[in-house]
Amino acid sequence: MTKVRAIGHRIPMDSAADPRVLVVDDDPALAEVVARYLRREGFEVDYAADGATGLQRALSTLPDLVVLDLMMPGMDGFEVCRRLRRATAVPVVMLTARGEENDRIAGLDLGADDYVTKPFSPRELAARVRAVLRRAAAEAAPAPLLTGGGVEVDTVAHRVSRRGAPVTLTTKEYDLLVCFLTSPGRAFRREELLETVWGWSIGDTSTVTVHVRRLREKIEDDASAPRHLTTVRGVGYRWEP
Amino acid sequence: MTKVRAIGHRIPMDSAADPRVLVVDDDPALAEVVARYLRREGFEVDYAADGATGLQRALSTLPDLVVLDLMMPGMDGFEVCRRLRRATAVPVVMLTARGEENDRIAGLDLGADDYVTKPFSPRELAARVRAVLRRAAAEAAPAPLLTGGGVEVDTVAHRVSRRGAPVTLTTKEYDLLVCFLTSPGRAFRREELLETVWGWSIGDTSTVTVHVRRLREKIEDDASAPRHLTTVRGVGYRWEP
DNA sequence: TCCGAGACTTTCGCATACCGTAAGAATCGT
DNA sequence: ACGATTCTTACGGTATGCGAAAGTCTCGGA
């Protein structure tokens, strides 16, 4: 995972309950419309009528997302967003007036995840809210990792690390490692590896030997006394977790 | 395209033809004025004189947008809008009498995308119609806001900036960047990019190489030592946030 | 309709990292 | 101790990615 989310942010997908949205707007009529629509769309909606209240509510209830009006008396949307960002990573959707280009840019700078320009339809807002939540969930979802013996392989990012430290492998080394990690403890014959990793049905098995050696050099503490990628004499190699 | 729209709703931007608008109003004189103006503004206009007919027509012809009078004998605008929403996602612009605040709220609540209070100028209505169509098209677009590594992409405005400074990208460069930013950290094979961005199943992958290079030239501090758009040797490229 | 600018694609040469082979050294099992 | 197996190292060929530039394509203006 690349980005660390701040403490306390609930991830909607993880919970069975509906995603909770906090709407902060000084126009009660608008907020009411928005809230009703969002509720019908399956969100649990809370409401605050000004910036200070909204901030406090957000920090205490930790909603899944905050809909934030930009122009408010007292503490405006900018300020709320900024303070919110200090403590949490809760996604924010800004409501801005049409054509406030500068405000939009500044809003992005402050870490708003999306913006909707007034006038907007509740349907549009709901769509944006859903999209942002989807993105946030995807971002928080950890990448599937192959692990074993202090080695981690992120097959999505195509990245390898050993005790947290990044390791650069060549294609063949990578394929070999993945092969071993998907079947830890299993002994692979050289011919088998040649078939699986190289796609050869016949060939010089010393090729495997050399690549295993190179792989050991990168992921073992002591390549001449391997503890994970061990030799099975007369057969081939095996990964010890 | 990431989002599936409700059945049968044409997306105006996708079609070369003029957007089709259905006007539903029980006042033929008013409808005639509106229709004529909208036609001159480049819309294809259909007309229905009452709610029931309008609903049926909307469901059968699937226009790009419906202009709906609120007060009608028989089935009123509320009811039409509600039933329309059950089956389609077609945008709706409501025509309401002045000062009917409750109606306005209820209309939006039912999923209307905008409202115009009577009396209105045809010009104003046309402007609203265009705005709603634009929004509807934007709503169908993928993740509206993408950021990572100091680069910001506004997919709504189709605009890219780096540390706040605007950057102009060509189409392919833009598509590439969007592709990377929607899956940061993920390693893309060249063939994959060729498939996703170019739509080719086979082709010369050096095309990707060259475009990636150009993209680096524009968004990296030092294109020869890329920090975000990195090469994954033997595989392709990856975006580091 | 023709032309030109910009965008896109293809080609080519270069530098480098990678791969496979071979040959000698070391190690293991008996 | 001895043969078989594995390890280690070195080296040349090759694939890969990069950079530059020439060759197409497309679209808008004259």
Q: Does domain B145-239 have CATH number 1.10.10.10?
A: yes
Chain B contact for A232 (CB, 8 A cutoff): no
pLDDT over 70 percentage in chain A: 88
A chain contacts of residue B193, beta-carbon cutoff 8 Å: none
| B4 secondary structure, DSSP code | P
Q: Which nucleotide minimizes the distance between its C1' and the CA of A225?
A: D7
In chain B, which residues have their Cβ closer than 8 Å to the Cβ of A157?
185-187, 238
Report how far residue A13's alpha carbon sits from residue B191's, in angstroms, rounded to the nearest whole number: 32
Instruction: Output the pLDDT for position A98.
Output: 64
Q: Does B103 touch chain A (CB under 8 A)?
A: no
Taking a C-beta distance cutoff of 8 angstroms, is the pair B148, B177 a contact?
A: no
Can you give the pLDDT at residue B116? 85
CA distance from start to end of chain B: 23
Predicted confidence band of residue A37 (pLDDT cuts 50, 70, 90): confident
The domain limits of chain A are 12-140, 145-239
Does domain B12-139 fall into CATH 3.40.50.2300? yes
The neighbouring-strand residues paired with A125 are: none
CB contact under 8 A, B186 and A156: yes
Report the residue of B3, B102, B104, B109 to disrupt the A interface, i.e. the one with the largest count of A CBs within 10 Å. B109
Protein residue at shortest CA distance from C1' of D9: A210
How far is residue B239's CA from residue B183's CA, in Å, rounded to a whole number? 8
Residue A97 sits at the chain B interface (C-beta within 8 Å): no
Residue A2, pLDDT > 60, answer no
Percent of chain A with pLDDT over 90: 59
CB proximity A198 to B under 8 Å:
no
Gyration radius of chain B's alpha carbons? 23
* Cα(B193)–Cα(B179) distance, integer angstroms: 8
Per-residue pLDDT reduced to its tens digit, B181-224: 988 899 999 989 998 888 888 889 999 999 999 999 999 999 88
What pLDDT was estimated at residue B145? 79
CA distance B50 to B31: 11
Percent share of chain B, pLDDT over 70: 84
A50 touches A74 (CB < 8 A): yes
Q: Which of residues 40-69 of A touch B (CB under 8 A)?
A: none
Coil, strand or helix at B235: coil
Question: Quick check: A113 CB within 7 A of strand C?
Answer: no
Q: Which residue has the tokens 């029931």?
A: B52
DSSP summary character for residue B35: H
The DSSP bridge pattern shows strands A65-69 and A92-97 to be: parallel
For A120-138, write each residue's pLDDT tens digit: 878 888 888 988 888 888 7
Q: What is the DSSP string of chain A?
A: ---PPPTT---GGGSSSPPEEEEE-S-HHHHHHHHHHHHHTT-EEEEESSHHHHHHHHHHH--SEEEEES--SSS-HHHHHHHHHHH----EEEEEETT-HHHHHHHHHTT-SEEEEES--HHHHHHHHHHHHHHHHHHHSPPPEEEETTEEEETTTTEEEETTEEE---HHHHHHHHHHHHSTT-EEEHHHHIIIII--SS--THHHHHHHHHHHHHH-SSTTS-SSEEEETTTEEEE--
Is A157 within 8 Å of B233 when comparing Cβ atoms?
no
Can you tell me the mean pLDDT for B154-161? 82
H-run or E-run covering B47 = strand B44-48
Q: Is the CB of B206 under 7 A from strand C?
A: yes
- Residues on chain A touching B105 (C-beta within 8 angstroms): 29, 32-33
Rounded to a whole number of angstroms, the distance from the CA of A191 to the nearest CA of chain B is: 23
**Chain A environment of B113 (Cβ under 8 Å):** 121, 123-124
> C-alpha angle A12/A18/A24, rounded to 5°?
85
pLDDT of residue A5: 32
Flag whether residue B143 sits within 8 Å of chain A, measured between CB atoms. yes
Question: Is the CB of residue B124 less than 8 Å away from at least one CB of chain A?
Answer: no
Chain A hits for B241, Cβ within 8 Å: 2-3
Q: Is the peptide bond before A119 cis (omega within 30 degrees of 0)?
A: yes
Give B167-183 pLDDT, tens digit per residue. Answer: 899 989 998 999 999 88
Fold of the domain built from segment(s) A12-140: Rossmann fold (3.40.50)
pLDDT of residue A131: 82
Average pLDDT, integer, range A153-161: 94
Q: Please check whether residue B19 is in contact with residue B64, taking contact to mean a CB–CB distance below 8 angstroms.
A: yes
Distance CA B65, CA B58 (A): 9
Q: How confident is the model at residue A101 (pLDDT cuts 50, 70, 90)?
A: low
**pLDDT higher than threshold 80 for residue B102:** no
> A188 and A237 in contact (C-beta within 8 Å)?
yes
Contact A108 B240 (CB under 8 A): no
The Cα A60–Cα A46 span in angstroms is: 12
Report the C-alpha gap between A185 and A98 in whole angstroms: 62
